[in-house]
């Protein structure tokens, strides 16, 4: 607040819905608070279907009811025409002036009239959680891209968002790596620092791979080393300084590598938000103690377990959540339980989100249920945003030709290379450097968009040709729409703020575009409430398509009159701002020229 241009603008849909709803209660007091079920429609601007169900419920005639509602609509300058149609729908047309006035109010606002949530809360979101000393793979792509978009979408609504990158930085495999480093202190040494985040990251990962291979070889062939490596684990867990120092060294190498990938992926991950499994180490004993004392967990064959009515293996025996192993070790579940206590108890979250592969759904179901039984988690407060698998063109989980999991960096490099081909073909006056620059924005945008435009739970096929296609539901299509609009302004629409003209009649393609622009705020509310970024991509694609139709049918710089030109430039400008804002929430760049 404080800034002048901060007014949320109700959509025409919302205001028409309110008018019909008021008329409905006036015509039929029993129907107060009934939903008029207003939808966009092909035959008019909106259609209200609510009278049908209502008449049925009250055993009346729907057409008669609809006619009464029309009679009860007070005179207003927003609804231009309303008629009863079919079995009892209302077809509603709004006035051109009302459309342009509403858009003018949006254009005057920095947030395009999009309101903040009425009751924002605090959300902790657990996403992009790669594992230390390992490569990031295509599964980490989805968690990173979806998580990043959800963060921006929620923040834009005014939610307080706390990011948690629950990286895999703890566990028995560190015993082997650290023991090897103790015995080969120069293993991670390197001469000069590489240039740039990406190269530095790749070099760090190469060193970690070498460390892993060498230590694995000794571990598998030398029993005495194996024993020393095992003894290293309790030393790590109890905080032995030498052991911890080497552990830090390994974690830091990994973070250097992760940051290289994030740089290429154009995603910001802040170090203070990287709070891995290790951060909860000191809380694990208390978690176990509390669960055992409250009876939520019970000892079974030495292990501390939580049982569930409906979770059974194929042979019918119950599959428990194991909180502590029989050898005293803690696993993944104990850490997640400690994290829940921290996030609800200390961070005061209202909502916990976990952007994690759907294949971990059972784990989270058991962890959430356990935390609820223990009284640490209010019912319904935690939700897994479970995502599907990325598939190869053969329809099977994406693998390299050699059958290995695909390294994320290789995949991103390939996407950028692919995009460079497309950009070069279209580029007219771009230098090679500019082409490479655009290629990164187009290629990474394509990968993100393809990931986000599929509904989260679905598997999808990774197909670069389709992803960077100029036709169809792709980010490149949207990026070109944006760049084309900006080029209009460079070529002659330089007026800083185009002036809208509510007195002008709108052509059909103008109305369709304008009504879509007006839906931006309503769409964002749904996208945030349902955690459904794919509904934002669908909205933006429709917007760009309607813009193309408008552009083909309505000359802008060569419009008949100066007023019409200004009005059309106004629509162009608002379209560009809406595309830009929408893409920004998805983490996708919109270059000014392509």
Sequence-distant (6+) residues with CB within 8 A of 284 are: 330, 334, 335, 338
Residue with Cβ nearer ligand ARG (439 or 456): 456
Residues shown for the chain: 594
Query: CB–CB of 268/312 below 8 Å?
Result: no
Query: CB–CB of 297/305 below 8 Å?
Result: yes
Which of 129, 237, 256, 581 binds ligand ARG (CB under 6 A)? It is 129
Q: Of residues 50-69, which lie at the interface with ligand ARG (CB under 6 A)?
A: none
3-state secondary structure of 431: coil
Minimum distance of ligand ARG from residue 354's CB (angstroms) = 6
Binding pattern for the stretch 400-439 against ligand ARG, x by CB under 6 A and - elsewhere:
----------------------------------------
Q: Which of 173, 271, 252, 168 is nearest to 207 (CA)?
A: 252
Minimum distance of ligand ARG from residue 394's CB (angstroms) = 24
Query: CB–CB of 448/588 below 8 Å?
Result: yes
Minimum distance of ligand ARG from residue 213's CB (angstroms) = 21
Residue with Cβ nearer ligand ARG (340 or 540): 340
Q: Does 169 bind ligand ARG (CB under 6 A)?
A: no
Strand 303-306 with 298-300, pairing? antiparallel
* C-beta neighbour count of 2 within 10 angstroms: 4
Minimum distance of ligand ARG from residue 276's CB (angstroms) = 9
Minimum distance of ligand ARG from residue 126's CB (angstroms) = 5
Minimum distance of ligand ARG from residue 471's CB (angstroms) = 36
Residue with Cβ nearer ligand ARG (354 or 550): 354
Q: Does 389 bind ligand ARG (CB under 6 A)?
A: no
Residue with Cβ nearer ligand ARG (157 or 166): 166
Q: Interacting stretch for ligand ARG, rule CB under 6 A, among 38-46, 60-68, 80-88, 123-131?
A: 123-131
Q: Interacting stretch for ligand ARG, rule CB under 6 A, among 117-125, 126-134, 289-297, 501-509?
A: 126-134
Sequence-distant (6+) residues with CB within 8 A of 278 are: 169, 170, 251
3-state secondary structure of 47: strand
Sequence-distant (6+) residues with CB within 8 A of 519 are: 11, 13, 40, 539
Q: How far is Cα 165 from Cα 132, in angstroms, rounded to an integer? A: 12
Which of 50, 168, 171, 175 binds ligand ARG (CB under 6 A)? It is 168
Minimum distance of ligand ARG from residue 356's CB (angstroms) = 5
Residue with Cβ nearer ligand ARG (334 or 514): 334
* b (16+ CB within 10 A) / e for 59-68: ebebbebbbb
Q: Does 172 bind ligand ARG (CB under 6 A)?
A: no
* C-beta neighbour count of 38 within 10 angstroms: 21
Q: Of residues 314-343, which lie at the interface with ligand ARG (CB under 6 A)?
A: 336
* Residue tagged 């999009």 (tokens): 114
Q: Does 166 bind ligand ARG (CB under 6 A)?
A: yes
Q: Does 126 bind ligand ARG (CB under 6 A)?
A: yes
Q: Does 131 bind ligand ARG (CB under 6 A)?
A: yes
Q: Interacting stretch for ligand ARG, rule CB under 6 A, among 124-132, 232-240, 258-266, 286-294?
A: 124-132
Q: Does 356 bind ligand ARG (CB under 6 A)?
A: yes
DSSP state for residue 546 in the 8-state scheme: H
3-state secondary structure of 405: strand
Residue with Cβ nearer ligand ARG (374 or 468): 374
Query: CB–CB of 486/594 below 8 Å?
Result: no
Count residues binding ligand ARG (CB under 6 A): 8
Q: How far is Cα 533 from Cα 502, in angstroms, rounded to an integer? A: 33
Beta strands in 326-412 (DSSP E): 351-357, 382-387, 390-391
Q: Interacting stretch for ligand ARG, rule CB under 6 A, among 39-47, 98-106, 125-133, 154-162?
A: 125-133
Query: CB–CB of 551/513 below 8 Å?
Result: no
Minimum distance of ligand ARG from residue 131's CB (angstroms) = 5
Residue with Cβ nearer ligand ARG (168 or 320): 168
Minimum distance of ligand ARG from residue 254's CB (angstroms) = 12
Binding pattern for the stretch 520-549 against ligand ARG, x by CB under 6 A and - elsewhere:
------------------------------
Q: How far is Cα 491 from Cα 558, in angstroms, rounded to an integer? A: 12
Query: CB–CB of 453/473 below 8 Å?
Result: yes
Residue with Cβ nearer ligand ARG (41 or 131): 131
Give contact residues for ligand ARG (rule: CB under 6 A).
Answer: 126, 129, 131, 166, 168, 336, 354, 356
């Amino acid at each position: 607040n404080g800034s002048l241009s901060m007014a949320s603008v109700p959509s025409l849909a919302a205001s028409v819905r309110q008018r019909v709803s008021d008329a409905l209660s006036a015509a039929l007091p029993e129907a107060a608070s009934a939903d008029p079920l207003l939808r966009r429609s092909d035959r008019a601007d909106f259609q209200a279907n609510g009278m049908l169900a209502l008449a049925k419920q009250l055993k009346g005639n729907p057409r008669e009811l609809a006619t009464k509602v029309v009679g009860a609509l007070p005179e207003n300058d927003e609804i231009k025409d309303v008629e009863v149609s079919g079995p009892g729908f209302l077809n509603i047309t709004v006035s051109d002036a009302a459309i342009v006035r509403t858009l003018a109010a949006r254009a005057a606002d920095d947030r395009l009239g999009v309101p903040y949530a009425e009751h924002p809360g605090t959300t902790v979101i657990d996403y992009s959680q790669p594992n230390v000393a390992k490569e990031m793979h295509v599964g980490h792509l989805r968690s990173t891209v979806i998580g990043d978009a959800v963060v921006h979408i929620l923040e834009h609504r005014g939610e307080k968002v706390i990011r948690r990158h629950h990286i895999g930085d703890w566990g028995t495999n560190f015993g082997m790596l650290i023991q090897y480093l103790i015995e080969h202190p120069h293993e991670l040494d390197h001469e000069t620092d590489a240039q740039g985040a990406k190269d530095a990251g790749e070099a760090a990962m190469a060193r970690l791979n070498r460390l892993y291979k060498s230590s694995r070889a000794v571990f598998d062939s030398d029993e005495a080393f194996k024993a020393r490596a095992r003894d290293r684990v309790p030393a790590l867990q109890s905080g032995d300084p030498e052991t911890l120092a080497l552990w830090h060294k390994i974690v830091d190498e990994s973070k250097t590598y992760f940051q290289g990938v994030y740089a290429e992926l154009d995603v910001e991950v802040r170090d203070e938000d990287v709070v891995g499994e290790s951060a909860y180490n000191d809380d694990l004993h208390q978690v176990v103690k509390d669960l055992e004392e409250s009876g939520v967990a019970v000892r079974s064959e030495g292990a501390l377990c939580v049982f569930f009515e409906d979770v059974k293996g194929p042979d019918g025996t119950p599959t428990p959540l194991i909180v502590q192993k029989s050898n005293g070790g803690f696993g993944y579940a104990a850490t997640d339980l400690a994290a829940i206590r921290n996030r609800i108890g200390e961070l005061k979250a209202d909502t916990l989100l976990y952007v994690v592969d759907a294949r971990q759904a059972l784990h989270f179901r058991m962890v959430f249920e356990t935390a609820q039984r223990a009284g640490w988690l209010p019912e319904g407060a935690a939700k897994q945003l479970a995502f599907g698998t990325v598939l190869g063109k053969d329809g099977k989980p994406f693998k390299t030709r050699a059958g290995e999991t695909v390294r994320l960096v290789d995949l991103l490099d390939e996407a950028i290379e692919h995009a460079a081909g497309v950009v070069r073909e279209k580029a007219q006056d771009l230098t090679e450097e500019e082409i490479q620059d655009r290629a990164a924005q187009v290629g990474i945008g394509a990968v993100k968009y393809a990931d986000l435009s599929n509904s989260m739970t679905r598997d999808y096929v990774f197909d670069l040709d389709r992803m960077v296609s100029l036709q169809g539901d792709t980010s490149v299509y949207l990026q070109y729409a944006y760049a084309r609009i900006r080029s209009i302004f460079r070529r002659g629409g330089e007026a800083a703020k185009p002036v809208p003209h509510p007195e002008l009649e709108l052509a059909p393609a103008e109305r369709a575009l304008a009504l879509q622009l007006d839906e931006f705020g309503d769409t964002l509310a749904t996208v945030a409430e349902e955690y459904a970024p794919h509904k934002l991509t669908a909205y933006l694609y429709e917007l760009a398509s309607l813009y193309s139709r408008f552009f083909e049918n309505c000359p802008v710089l060569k419009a008949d009159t100066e007023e019409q030109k200004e009005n059309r430039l106004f629509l162009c400008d608002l379209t560009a701002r809406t595309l830009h804002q929408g893409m920004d929430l998805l983490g996708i760049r919109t270059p000014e020229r392509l």
